[in-house]
Amino acid sequence: MKVVQRFFRILAAGALLGLLCALPVRAETVLVTDSNQGIGLEFAKQFAARGWTVIATHRRSETPDTLAELQKQYPDTVKPERMDVTKKDEIAALAERLKGQPIDIILNNAALIRFADIRDREGNKGQLFGTLDYDHMDQFMHTNVAGPLMIAEEFRDNLIASQRKMIVTISSAAGMVTIAPRSADHYWYRITKAALNSAMRLLAVELADEGVTVVMFHPGGVQVESFGDNKMPGMVPPEEAIGKMMQTIDGLTIKDSGRFLQNDGKDQPW
Ligand SMILES: NC(=O)c1ccc[n+]([C@@H]2O[C@H](COP(=O)([O-])OP(=O)(O)OC[C@H]3O[C@@H](n4cnc5c(N)ncnc54)[C@H](OP(=O)(O)O)[C@@H]3O)[C@@H](O)[C@H]2O)c1
């Protein structure tokens, strides 16, 4: 009798397993802001290689070559979309087009960093004391702080409909306020990254009841194209820094919400 019972139990377990395998596994979706170069492009590549649907946004009038190339490699899953993060109408228009589509991770990567080459003091004097350009300040605030907030407001329902429900924001150690900066430069960049952290901490509280995890990263020093030939000490290639952040993201839960992280998941000083 016991043998017969065991036989039927195994049969039932097999049937259940077969049923589960037959159910469509929903691929996860990430929206990466400004994924045409640098850190954003590397995130788009690594998520695409994992089989995720990647909504790869950019602010150019035409699809950038880098994203067209990635889309050629992953025609069914990489979806380049135009979205200037300072333009509420463009954010709302994309949200409208993606209405009802779950988005597991919103990855705020786009940022205004400087207007000229990193070593060009004259070109960047608008971010130096004595010659601070307050119109520039508005542009930095709009891009680095208002942008991610507008995106959270517009895509809130997509996030809540997803499994992961995560907002990952690429901030910077430049936004630290507990440790004095090594030099007094990049005023607007530093100030707006600190403000961005404050905005994300508010969102972590705001969206906690909806189960949304909100984290910030200092990605480390990443040698991206926009640095040109300027090689900074300690910089690592994008593949390495983004690979580490991908692993850290995999291990995050709602308990991590509100944290400011280094790429390996350790706490970054505020
Ligand atoms: N690289 C590092 O060492 C490092 C260190 C700390 C933090 N970060 C952060 O990492 C993120 C990515 O930076 P990155 O190093 O990869 O530099 P990047 O290559 O210069 O990327 C910044 C991107 O932001 C985009 N952007 C600027 N304004 C925008 C707007 N209004 N709408 C949409 N996109 C806009 C730029 O687009 P266009 O291509 O169209 O100009 C650019 O592609 C930033 O948040 C940055 O603060 C980087």
Q: What is the pLDDT of residues 179-191, one digit of tens each?
A: 999 899 999 999 9
pLDDT surpasses 80 at 5: no
CA of 72 to the centre of ligand 1 (A): 23
pLDDT surpasses 50 at 21: no
Single-letter amino acid, residue 124: N
CA angle at 151 for the pair 134 and 94, rounded to the nearest 5°: 115
CA distance 22 to 56: 30
pTM: 0.91
Q: What pLDDT score does 118 carry?
A: 83
| CA 159 to chain CA centroid, nearest Å | 13
Helices 134-141 and 187-206, packing angle to 10 deg: 30
Q: What pLDDT score does 136 carry?
A: 97
State mean pLDDT over 14-29.
Answer: 59
Ligand 1 atom 23, closest CA: 110
- Structure-model confidence comparison of residues 54 and 12, the more confident one: 54
* pLDDT class of 24 with cuts at 50, 70, 90: very low
CATH number for 27-262: choose from 2.60.40.420, 3.30.1390.10, 3.30.56.10, 3.40.50.720.
3.40.50.720
Non-local CB neighbours of 68 within 8 Å, separated by 6+ positions? 80
| CA 58 to chain CA centroid, nearest Å | 13
Question: Cβ(110)–Cβ(33) under 8 Å?
Answer: yes
Question: Cβ(198)–Cβ(270) under 8 Å?
Answer: no
Question: Cβ(102)–Cβ(163) under 8 Å?
Answer: yes
* pLDDT class of 26 with cuts at 50, 70, 90: low
CA of 38 to the centre of ligand 1 (A): 7
Pocket of ligand 1 contains residue 154 by CB under 6 Å? no
Question: Cβ(179)–Cβ(150) under 8 Å?
Answer: no
Q: Which one of 31, 32, 33, 34 would you pick to mutate in the ligand 1 pocket, going by the greatest count of ligand atoms within 8 A of its CB?
A: 34
CA distance 46 to 78: 11
Q: What pLDDT score does 15 carry?
A: 57
pLDDT surpasses 60 at 64: yes
| Residue ranges per structural domain of the chain | 27-262
Give the torsion through C-alpha atoms of 150, 239, 78, 60, to 10 deg: 50
pLDDT digits (tens, 9 = 90+) for 110-161: 999 999 988 888 999 999 999 999 999 999 999 999 999 999 999 999 999 9
CA distance 170 to 70: 22
CA of 56 to the centre of ligand 1 (A): 14
Residue 25 per-residue DSSP state = P
Q: What pLDDT score does 23 carry?
A: 47
Q: What pLDDT score does 205 carry?
A: 98
Q: What pLDDT score does 8 carry?
A: 61
